[in-house]
Amino acid sequence: MPTPTKGARLGGSPAHERLMLANLATSLFRHGRITTTETKARRLRPFAERLVTKAKRGDLHARRQVHSVIRDKQVVHTLFAEIGPGFESRPGGYTRITKLGPRKGDNAPMAVIELVESGPITTSTPSGGNRAAATPAPAAAPTEEETTTEAQAPAQDTSAETPAQDSADSSGAEQAGEGDQDGKS
């Protein structure tokens, strides 16, 4: 009889599930966000949040506990040096799961699991009036200056190069024509 679990079993055995969760957590902490199936994301969320909570403690015992799960020293260092202190004022909810459409090959439901921003919360989409006024103004000014500068500079260069190219092309064509006639004779 298989060992009962609280959630759906990932993989074939408990050992394989532990390894999969450890690898998913390593990738999540290394990259900040990963795309996986919804089931794996749901299983990873509490696992990763417990590791972040241990990283917030920051003591040696917590570091050793995390290192027993995540074998990559650089990821453990990043977790304790950057991610844990970044969530110091947050009591929980360090990850976010966003559902995506089904995967093309097997129609499996996909999701993105990512670390919530640890810095001060800023709105990514400010009100429409502020955004419309702020974005085009800086982009429009350099474009006009670049256009006038580019229009003047190539016009001068083109007029200077055109006669030289024409004379070089015509003399080159005459020489090539003479060479062809000599080759045929």
Per-residue pLDDT tens digits of the chain, which is 185 residues long: 666 666 667 887 888 999 999 999 999 999 999 999 999 999 999 999 999 999 999 999 999 999 999 999 999 999 999 999 999 999 999 999 999 999 999 999 999 999 998 544 443 444 444 444 444 444 444 555 555 555 555 555 555 555 555 555 555 555 555 555 555 54
Beta-strand runs (E) in the chain: 33-37, 95-102, 109-115
Residue 4, helix vs strand vs coil: coil
The pLDDT of residue 71 is 94
Provide CB contacts within 8 A for 30, sequence distance 6+: 72, 74, 75, 78
The pLDDT of residue 124 is 41
Please give the single-letter amino acid code of residue 93: G
The pLDDT of residue 155 is 54
CB atoms within 10 A of CB 62: 17
CA distance 56 to 138: 41
The pLDDT of residue 185 is 47
The pLDDT of residue 129 is 45
The dihedral through the CA atoms of 166, 172, 173, 174 has a sign that is positive
Nearest-5° Cα angle at 9, 99 to 46: 55
Residue 81, helix vs strand vs coil: helix
pTM, 2 dp: 0.61
Query: What does the DSSP 8-state code read for residue 136?
Result: H
Residues in the chain: 185
